Amino acid sequence: MPDSRIHSSAPAAAPAGKQSRARAWYETYGQAVYSYVRFHVASADEADDVTAETFLKVLAAEERFDPDRGEARVWIFRIAQNTLRDHHRRSRVRRHTSLGAMRDLVADAPTAEERLLWEEEVSRLLSAVGELGARDREIIGLRYGSGMDTSAVAQILGVRESAVRTRLWRALGRLRVLLEDDTA
Amino acid sequence: MIADFADPRDLDALLGRIQFRPRASLEGEVAGRWARGDRPTPNPTPVRSRLVWLGVMLLLLGAVLYLMQSQLGLARVRTVDRCCEDFDGGGDRDDGMLVVSRRGSDVQRLAIYEDLDGSRSYTAGDALRFDRTGRPSLQQPFTAGMRTFELCCRDYDGGGPADDAVVIMALPPDRIAMAAIYERLPGAEDRSLR
């Protein structure tokens, strides 16, 4: 299951200086943002680019971030959403996932063969996710990519948690149909 | 392997197992890029925004053209009141003609009145002898004694030069069957009745 270890506050204790703050933001949210982005792009390289761009935007805008108006996590994921949208607009890349692009996939596989099978499974899953509509892709990316729970996803999407659960359930249903069609 | 997802909870569990790890150097790369002065790429202008912008520009252009046209008087509706002449063939120069035209040529209304109160313009006390809109047509059947005559040349339509003639079919002393104007001066290309 996705972990929910993401902090929901700004790295206030981080030392001053942009480079130090960059590291602090990244340490807190880097993994989650990267994994979220990774659910939307075809390769690790693209995910690197979008993640780096997201954190450059975070650094450029951090003076404007007001913790009283919302959680840092929500703020950062909205920046990530916009960055991802811009990326797709610029590149207009057709979504596809090749096995060679899975170098960043975490696998607890004892053998190389099992790792390959896992890569293949994830590849097919993400290809199917890529065929879903934008709303479905977004909610799956936030829930499973970033590892946030439905409550956090609801905050980012600005909807009620019950709505997130419903949308997620429907998205999974549509994903299931796509996978079954693919298998057939 | 992906085989059977009869229960979406299986899919939920499988998706939950997926984890990606960014390369370790990405953290340093972000800090390094910032230190080198690398800044986020400006957002591309969305297609929708561009279309909205284009629409606004076209509207503005349209408004400017309309204003220019209005300033030049091309779209203005003019009303010309000419008094007094013998438009009904009655012998007395006591008739006036009202012409409402657009762009100085397109006649929208033409009326002939008898200036009963001697005001030399159309007033409530005058008698309307003829009134038409649209294209010229006979408003009364052709009868014996009807006269056709032309008066020339004045600016009856407000177009500027005194190059208009008025053609009238009337049964004197005060019945008018048809009235129309046309460009009369040599060189005028449009001789159609208006």
ipTM: 0.81
Neighbours of B90 (CB within 10 A): 16
| Contact assignment for A104 to B35 by CB distance below 8 Å | no
Instruction: Pick the range with the lowest mean pLDDT from A19-23, A166-170, B30-34, B183-187.
Output: B183-187
Show the tokens assigned to B139.
């408003």
| Contact assignment for A59 to B2 by CB distance below 8 Å | no
pLDDT over 50 at B79, yes or no: yes
Tokens 């920046």 belong to which residue? A79
Q: Give me the pLDDT at residue B44, please.
A: 64
Q: Which residues 6+ apart lie within 8 Å of A150 measured at CB?
A: A143, A161, A164, A165, A168
Residues A104/A38, Cβ–Cβ less than 8 Å? yes
- Across B5-30, average pLDDT: 86
- Across B119-133, average pLDDT: 89
Residues A11/A25, Cβ–Cβ less than 8 Å? yes
Q: Give me the pLDDT at residue A5, please.
A: 42
Give the residue ranges of chain A where pLDDT is below 70: 1-16, 92-101, 183-184
In chain B, what residues touch A169 (CB-CB under 8 Å)? 8
Q: Give me the pLDDT at residue A62, please.
A: 87
Residues B159/B153, Cβ–Cβ less than 8 Å? no
> What residues does B111 pair with on adjacent strands?
B98, B131
Q: Give me the pLDDT at residue A22, please.
A: 80
| Contact assignment for B31 to A22 by CB distance below 8 Å | yes
Q: Give me the pLDDT at residue A1, please.
A: 41
Beta strands (DSSP E) in B50-105 are: 77-85, 95-102
Indicate the helix (H) or strand (E) that contains A99. none
pLDDT over 60 at B15, yes or no: yes
Neighbours of B35 (CB within 10 A): 12
Q: Give me the pLDDT at residue A140, please.
A: 95
Q: Report phi then psi at A99, rounded to 5.
A: -60, -35
| Contact assignment for A19 to B44 by CB distance below 8 Å | no
Instruction: Please give the distance of CA B65 from its chain centroid, rounded to a whole number.
Output: 12
Q: Give me the pLDDT at residue B187, please.
A: 67
- Calpha distance A41→B49 (Å, rounded): 25
B-interface mutation test, from A35, A45, A136, most B Cβ less than 10 A away: A35
Residues A150/A167, Cβ–Cβ less than 8 Å? no
Give the gap in angstroms from C-alpha B10 to the nearest C-alpha of chain A.
Answer: 10
- Across B112-121, average pLDDT: 90
Residues B139/B50, Cβ–Cβ less than 8 Å? no
3-state secondary structure at position B44: coil
pLDDT over 70 at B188, yes or no: no
Q: How far is CA B125 from CA A120, B113, B172, in A?
A: 98, 10, 21
Q: What is the pTM of this model?
A: 0.57
Question: Using 50, 70 and 90 to split pLDDT, how confident is the model at B137?
Answer: confident
pLDDT digits (tens, 9 = 90+) for B153-181: 888 877 777 888 899 999 888 889 999 99
Neighbours of A98 (CB within 10 A): 10
Q: Give me the pLDDT at residue A14, please.
A: 44
Q: Give me the pLDDT at residue A96, please.
A: 54
